[in-house]
Chain A
């Protein structure tokens, strides 16, 4: 294994992105809206594509705006279908995000004639390519740092409101906290984070970064602040482990399993998601084990 400067940037970008995603992810989990993260990350696709079509370039404000609007559109329209059409939550989300995703695939196909844009790149990201940059510090590192700081600040400022809106929306309403506004705010932040993350990890693996660190942290701690802290740790660990596995261990295992010697290093973002899963399932096993020996209802691992 040869570790280069590029590898450091890949791990750093992955870790920053995963940590930035973990913060809104914890609150999505607490609101029982995990699949909203899934829906938004699919639904931003047409927004991105329209942004591309309008502006004609890959990194620009219209693209960001389009994606955030598409994210909000998903949340609002599926809410309307749920209430006015009396369709169950999951199904109304499914209808909206599938349709938008399909629209996005078509638009990208159309946009591909004008802009250099590959659906694969949008879906699985290209962390390895994104860090190749002439600047001393790649642009994508600054981007993910900025979004991480933004999310941490917002979480700190609205900590009480987010908590109350998640655990007791009625009390929130009674005490004058606009839980609807908080939810929409969370949706916007999730969409924004998804868009920034999509460049490095792609729009589907974002879901892993949103939900898995928070879910793992919930097995470790029972306070919201604790969950937030541990989710950042898990995000960091899965980025590091993911890239290490992608360049050294996993290709050899896969080669041994399938009897091939010609496999190169794997997609780092994919392995980051997979190693987040490894961390989650190990913690799940540990917490189950801890519970069964302590005999208590809900022991945490620590």
Chain B
């Protein structure tokens, strides 16, 4: 318990450094990952992460030849960056020169580069002195080994990522949503793409120490995917993703400080996964629960409109009192669905029901409501039949009053057409005109 408060209140200098570094990395990864996700390139991060291994091992081997310290993070990171860029080049090369799909190119580069890295790592492991331990922390991630200078590097790199993302927000958004428009409008699409990939490489390098090359992709993918459930606004989503990234890094670091021995990188990823699970269920925009509720509401409204229209059509055939059988005969629907909706309509005062005879009739507002629905529906039908070429672009919401979407002249025209072509099915007058 005492250690818990020590960690939480940031009493150790080391904890502060590690926590700050990890959170900054998480935020930067969430930010860059947002664009990667929208560009449908999430798994590129995986390939990049794995592709850094040969560079790291080669840099390690070269370090002693040139007399550098083989544990200098910056030196290893530059090796990682070079081989990450080479891996990305290989993906582009495969994409350009063969008919293999993107996913195949990603898998090939990932595994081949990683294989070469493992082969070189095995050479290092045989060297006397157990020097390979310094590399292990980059594979599995070990933020506890972060020093102040490493944290400064993370800070600078994260600020760079945030700065570029903020400065080029509009350009990146365009790149993600409408690449071909950006191209025709004269934006330097290729350059922007390279810049975005460059940011991803930078994030990957920063992440080596925090979550390790195997799991660095997780923080590029999971926080943005979680943020997607909460907002349709890209700015909100990007900030949210950065927040989730930072928060899961924090939770991971704190938990691993409390439970020593467990790999920190994995704990960070698991807490991000927890945030994802919660968002998947509870997300305000696209979460499963909210979407289920909305779908049910829409289905309910559809049944109500169908019932009203069916009763209206029966009434049109000359009966003012309509029986349940007549309504049921109008379309193939479930009996109990119709019965419960009729009960609801009666409660709302749109119908008067005679329970003994199982019959009902419109009551006050019910008639005008049904009239409005049928009129709308029939006018839309005519419109779709006559203007099929432009119709889909204008029909936004089927429930909209036709006057809200189309102008009055066109509606008049449609009413004339309806009169000419289908005299047997009259369009009721607009009930709202007669209201005081």
Residues of A within 8 A of B (CB): 29, 32-35, 37-38, 81, 84-88, 90-95, 98-99, 101-103, 105-106, 109-110, 119-120, 123-124, 202, 204-205, 207-208, 210-212, 215, 218-219, 246, 250-251, 254, 257-260, 262-264, 266-267, 269-274, 276-277, 280-281, 284, 287-288, 298
Contact of B119 among A81, A266, A287 (CB under 8 A): A266
Contact of B123 among A207, A263, A272 (CB under 8 A): A263
What's the minimum C-beta distance from A78 to chain B, rounded to whole angstroms? 11
Task: Give the dominant DSSP class at A's interface.
Answer: helix
Q: What 1/0 flags go to B272-308 for Cβ under 8 Å of A? A: 1100100010000010100000000000000000000
For B415, what are the chain A residues with a Cβ–Cβ distance below 8 Å? Answer: none
Contact of A88 among B42, B90, B123 (CB under 8 A): B42
Contact of B43 among A93, A99, A251 (CB under 8 A): A93
The segment from B104-112, B159-167, B350-358, B418-426 that touches chain A is B104-112
What's the minimum C-beta distance from A40 to chain B, rounded to whole angstroms? 11
Asked if B261 is at the interface (CB within 8 A of a chain A CB), the reply is yes
For B90, what are the chain A residues with a Cβ–Cβ distance below 8 Å? Answer: 281
For A267, what are the chain B residues with a Cβ–Cβ distance below 8 Å? Answer: 118-119, 121-122
**Contacting pair B115 A208 (CB below 8 A):** yes
Given A109-B262, A270-B122: A98 in contact with B111 (beta carbons within 8 A)? no
What's the minimum C-beta distance from B385 to chain A, rounded to whole angstroms? 30
Interface residues of B in 211-259 (CB under 8 A from A): 214-215, 217-218, 221-222, 224-225, 228-229
Nearest 4 interchain pairs by C-beta: A273-B115, A277-B112, A208-B111, A270-B118
For A272, what are the chain B residues with a Cβ–Cβ distance below 8 Å? Answer: 115
For A86, what are the chain B residues with a Cβ–Cβ distance below 8 Å? Answer: 286
A124 to B121 alpha-carbon distance, docked (Å): 10
What's the minimum C-beta distance from A241 to chain B, rounded to whole angstroms? 12
**Contacting pair A95 B100 (CB below 8 A):** no
Residue of A nearest to B228 (CB): A87
For B26, what are the chain A residues with a Cβ–Cβ distance below 8 Å? Answer: none
A212 to B104 alpha-carbon distance, docked (Å): 8
What would be 27 A-B contacts, judged by CB atoms less than 8 Å apart?
A: A32-B103, A34-B103, A38-B110, A85-B229, A85-B280, A92-B225, A94-B46, A95-B221, A95-B225, A95-B273, A98-B218, A99-B273, A103-B266, A106-B262, A106-B263, A106-B270, A109-B261, A120-B136, A204-B114, A205-B114, A207-B107, A211-B111, A218-B100, A257-B61, A274-B119, A276-B112, A280-B108
The segment from B91-99, B335-343, B406-414 that touches chain A is B91-99
| Extra inter-chain contacts (14) besides given A95-B222, A123-B214, CB under 8 Å | A98-B215, A109-B261, A204-B111, A204-B214, A218-B100, A259-B65, A260-B65, A262-B127, A264-B123, A266-B119, A272-B115, A273-B112, A276-B115, A277-B112
